[in-house]
Structure 1
Amino acid sequence: MTDSKQAPEIIAIPRWFKIAAILALVWNLLGVAAFIDHMMMTSEKIAQLPVAEQALYAAVPLWATFAFGVAVFTGALGSVALLMKKRICYKLFVFSFIGVVVQMFHSFFISNSYEVYGPGGTIMPIMLIAITLLLVRFAAKGNSNNWFS
């Protein structure tokens, strides 16, 4: 009798994988730095912002700040897991994506960030969503190709 379960086919990891994983880590560490900078804003620094930005900063609810933290820290951990070729990177990137979506929901639909920053202020949020979704898909591809342990 033959065993009906066959070992999954392992597809060789492409040469560009490590470069992409390092870029993902750098990107997410920049997000961590932005979050830390956001959290360390003193009242003196806030007072140096234009009045409209001061009001925008003061109006950010705790849940949006929490989503920001979830997005960047799970993204950074996902990137480390990606470099280590661990399957958990997918789940971490999904959490990061959810955090980004929640944060951008606040930015686009609740706050008046568009009025403050104008059309140019939509470029970075759209990039955040696109890159985070790309990382989710990248990790999913790695899982489906059995690149990870």
Structure 2
Amino acid sequence: MNIKKKPSTKFYIIAVLALIWNLMGVGAYLVQAFMTDEMIATLPEEQQAEFLVEHPAWYTALFALAVFGGALACIFLLARKKLAYYLFIVSGVCAIAQQGYLLVTVELSSVVMPIMIIIFCIFLIWYSKRSITEGLLN
């Protein structure tokens, strides 16, 4: 049985905001991945320190999977496909592991952003699962 309910405006607002959030993550990843030493030298000293931290390769891989997987999940959410839920799980697990690593090993000036990222990932997993249950995704 493939019954589709019409999503509310709230569904689309959440999906679009989630896409924007994840695209900002993609942007942050691309900046980190392609920032040259010359570009880093032009930044304020406190920001330079953030870019000069050597992270393990698995951390960078988790970062990429989290943000690109999350952006793709948002596209599937907007297309009303169940695959969004599974991609949000992959993205969420990667983001939670990545942010957990930061919280435990790196001296952060603020823990607000890592905690906010974790909460947002959990919300998107929950929301996409709820959307399946409500018949909004097929």
Give the superposition deviation at 1:55. 6.9
Alpha-carbon offset, residue 60 of structure 1: 1.1
- Paired residue total: 137
Match of 2:111 in 1: 122
Summarize deviations over 1:58-80 as a string: whole Å, max 9, x none: 32111111111111000000000
- What percentage of aligned pairs have identical amino acids? 30
Structure 2: give runs of 5+ residues left out of the alignment. none
Q: Which amino acid aligns with 1:21?
A: A
Counterpart position of 2:94: 99
What residue number does 2:136 align with? 147
Q: Does 1:136 align with 2:125?
A: yes
Q: Which residue of 2 aligns with 1:40?
A: 34
CA contact (8 A) 1:9 1:145 kept: no
The alignment's TM-score, normalised by the length of structure 1, stands at 0.82
Q: Give the greater-gyration-radius structure (CA).
A: 1
Separation of aligned partners in 1, 2:100 and 2:77: 27
Q: Is the 8 Å Cα contact of residues 35 and 68 (structure 1) preserved in structure 2?
A: yes
Aligned residue number for residue 13 of structure 2: 19
AA of the residue aligned to 2:38: E
CA distance in 2 between counterparts of 1:89 and 1:55 reads 32
- Which ranges in structure 1 are unaligned for 5 or more consecutive residues? 1-6
Provide the rounded CA distance (Å) in 2 between the counterparts of 1:52 and 1:24: 26
Q: CA-atom RMSD, angstroms? A: 2.1
Partner SS state of residue 103, structure 1: helix
For residues 50 and 9 of structure 2, the distance between their equivalents in structure 1, rounded to whole angstroms, comes to 47
1:77 has 2:72 as partner: yes
